[in-house]
Amino acid sequence: MEQSNTKIGDVMKKNLDQSQPSIRFSTVWDKHKKSSRKLFGLKKVVAVPLTALVSLMVLLTVGFTFTAIEDNTDYPFVDDPAVIGKWQSVDYVAEIDQFNPSQKTQQGDLFLKELAFIKGGKMLEALSQGNGSLRDLNLSWTQGIAINKHEKTASKYVIKEINGSTYMFYEWKCGDYTYFHMTPQFFVLNKVDNLDYSNYKMAAIDDKVDYPFVDDPQLVGKWECVDYVKTIDKFKPGTSSVLGELFLTQLNIAENGKISALTSESKTPYEKLSWTKGLILDKKDKMASKYEIKELKGDIYLFYEWKSGDYKFGGMQPEYFVLKKLK
């Protein structure tokens, strides 16, 4: 057997090293000079006022028309034995009729990887992010419809036999549909098995949560959630990168290591969190989240590493809730 890691480099060198661009530096430099002169003129005379005017119009239009779509998700359960089992994504199409098993429209990994429909109306979903395994994301189904109560979407599904294989066309209702009112497209999934996934065990990450209490007076107080960002450096005070409401709304952090968290989904505070210097701990679900406190533009912000099911069961990189200290 040949070990290919060094070979990968060799093969790439062999195939790419002979290729040279025909473009010359002088051509690029001339274009650069011309375009920078043009840009300067445009910027001063037309571009800046025009961009400002267009932005204002867009803002006004969006401000007046922006409404998130909320589907009816209240359907009684109707059984559909044909849907039970695991389905694997094979394509993503704008219209059902567009699908051709021998000529896929998409290459590479598809965002939605798998679905498992369980008897009685439960569903599991696997995305190509993280560890890509099936997870319980609180989705449910009834005949012809997959329901996401959290996102308030009801996606229709259609099962078809094509060339002897069973395919599902699954309406994909993401932010483009909810916030930008775009027509949903369809994931095409191929039936893999008819198994019952009721007892499917999700592989979970358990953090060490057994830490002694170390005080951090800076952390104590009331914090209001203002944003949710991929990494700490992406946060810009005064702006929000999230469309719609934030799941975590407030943290009340007491001196004794206790935390009371408020979410947009419940009026009852979540009291299971605790803290020690540098970490917010969820001992019940075995998750230890790092936190950082920063002063930005005169306000104090808490960056709270959010370890949701995406981290625990999906192995994905945690993101951050940003909370502003209330005075």
Partner 1 sequence: MKDISQDQAEAIFVEHSSYVYRIALFLSKSPTLAEDITQDTFLQVFRKYNSYDPAKPITPWIYQIALNITRKTMRKQKWLHLVKEVPTNEGLNYVEDKILQDELGHELWKEINKLTLKSREVIVLHYYSGLKLNEIATALDIPLGTCKSRLNTALNSLEKQLQGNKITIACKGEDLYGTI
List residues binding partner 1 (CB under 8 A).
Answer: 1-23, 25, 27-29, 31-32, 35-36, 107-109, 130, 230-231, 317
Which residue is listed with tokens 């993280």?
Answer: 130
Let me know: does 228 contact 306? Beta carbons within 8 Å: yes
In the complex, what is the shortest distance from the CB of residue 33 to partner 1, in angstroms, rounded to a whole number? 9
Give the integer Cα–Cα distance in Å for 132 and 130: 5
Give the integer Cα–Cα distance in Å for 24 and 45: 32
Pick between residue 109 and residue 265 the one whose CB is nearest to partner 1.
Answer: 109
Q: What distance, in Å, lies between the first and last C-alpha atoms of the chain?
A: 66
Neighbour count for residue 135 (Cβ, 10 Å): 23
User: CA 49, 50, 54: angle at the middle one, nearest 5?
Assistant: 120
Pick between residue 3 and residue 239 the one whose CB is nearest to partner 1.
Answer: 3
Pick between residue 129 and residue 250 the one whose CB is nearest to partner 1.
Answer: 129
Pick between residue 38 and residue 160 the one whose CB is nearest to partner 1.
Answer: 38
Pick between residue 35 and residue 194 the one whose CB is nearest to partner 1.
Answer: 35
In the complex, what is the shortest distance from the CB of residue 39 to partner 1, in angstroms, rounded to a whole number? 8
Amino acid occupying residue 107 = Q
Cβ neighbours for 76, distance < 8 A, ≥ 6 positions apart: 142
Let me know: does 223 contact 253? Beta carbons within 8 Å: yes
DSSP state of 141: E
Pick between residue 34 and residue 119 the one whose CB is nearest to partner 1.
Answer: 34
* Helix (H) or strand (E) segment spanning residue 48: helix 48-65
In the complex, what is the shortest distance from the CB of residue 15 to partner 1, in angstroms, rounded to a whole number? 5
Pick between residue 210 and residue 233 the one whose CB is nearest to partner 1.
Answer: 233
Among 126, 127, 124, smallest CA distance to 141 is for 124
In the complex, what is the shortest distance from the CB of residue 1 to partner 1, in angstroms, rounded to a whole number? 5
Pick between residue 102 and residue 268 the one whose CB is nearest to partner 1.
Answer: 102
In the complex, what is the shortest distance from the CB of residue 36 to partner 1, in angstroms, rounded to a whole number? 7
Q: Structure tokens of 60?
A: 């006004």
Q: Structure tokens of 30?
A: 């001339």
In the complex, what is the shortest distance from the CB of residue 19 to partner 1, in angstroms, rounded to a whole number? 5
Give the integer Cα–Cα distance in Å for 91 and 165: 14
In the complex, what is the shortest distance from the CB of residue 47 to partner 1, in angstroms, rounded to a whole number? 14
In the complex, what is the shortest distance from the CB of residue 71 to partner 1, in angstroms, rounded to a whole number? 28
Give the integer Cα–Cα distance in Å for 117 and 166: 14
Which residue is listed with tokens 């069973």?
Answer: 166
